[in-house]
Structure 1
């Protein structure tokens, strides 16, 4: 007997991140769980991004971003950046500039400062493939896992039998 694959997607383990983008003085950030390393040499990260969102437009224009690793005590941060259409979303938390000038979330466990290589189509999202230019650990702790966020992202509507 085969179960609905959407139900089983919650069993795939992955972390929770804040992707921050900037294009000049314009900045935005969003919560992402679909992030992975794809190469050691050069170091490359890929993540999924909704092309309908403002962050996609900024990333496309500037070609730079940071991938900020959230800790298990960062559920409120994940929820904040998971909201769409919030004005002044960036002012709630402290940021520092990365090597690429993309914002780095000071509260994150670690960050990867990236330069966009290319996008690839993936259903209703795009996959951003990015070379890591700089990275550092900022704070200690255990990473927040997607399965620990419950229905924060409203995905339960996709996980029905």
Structure 2
């Protein structure tokens, strides 16, 4: 399994904070499993653990933002990668996108999305989202999953 984990680290993936909303209720989580899956319509897929609080809000509210982190934002990635924090939205400045999804103003860029559909994928759900708006809001280099080391404790899952 160590070899599989080492090789999986070579798959190029960014690091994102996904903001979700159901009316006034907001939450966010760190995600590395995000990818474009269509040009027309522009669709992105997010892999999320269905046991997490964010998934429940995403499912009910049907909207999210995908916020691209910069290489110097490992503290933000670590914060939103934790569960059980009472005031999860306390790190960063948040503003509502057109859909109402929370957008992290310190991110490099964001995608404002509405949920299209989802598919079961092992211990996660693939949530396919249609991009309604996308904007660059800051300058920098995007954080890669390989930059995070074992921040997510994935070593224990293999």
8 Å Cα contact 1:98/1:104 also seen in 2: yes
1:14-53 correspondence runs (5 A): 14-53=13-52
Cα separation, 2, equivalents of 1:96 and 1:25: 12
Bigger shift: residues 149-158 or 59-68: 149-158
1:107-118 correspondence runs (5 A): 107-118=106-117
Please report the RMSD computed on the Cα atoms of aligned residues, expressed in angstroms.
1.1
Q: What does residue 97 of structure 2 align with?
A: 98
Deviation, structure 1 residue 15: 0.3
1:7-156 correspondence runs (5 A): 7-156=6-155
**Partner of 2:46: helix, strand, or coil?**
strand
Deviation, structure 1 residue 37: 0.5
**Partner of 1:14: helix, strand, or coil?**
coil
Gaps of 5+ in 1: none
Deviation, structure 1 residue 4: 4.1
Gaps of 5+ in 2: none
Cα separation, 1, equivalents of 2:14 and 2:21: 23
Cα separation, 2, equivalents of 1:61 and 1:18: 19
8 Å Cα contact 1:6/1:158 also seen in 2: no
Q: TM-score, normalised by structure 2?
A: 0.96
Deviation, structure 1 residue 7: 3.2
Number of aligned residues? 157
Q: TM-score, normalised by structure 1?
A: 0.94
8 Å Cα contact 2:33/2:46 also seen in 1: yes
Deviation, structure 1 residue 122: 0.3
Deviation, structure 1 residue 90: 0.3
**Partner of 1:79: helix, strand, or coil?**
helix
Instruction: Extract structure 1 runs of 4+ deviating beyond 4 A.
Output: none
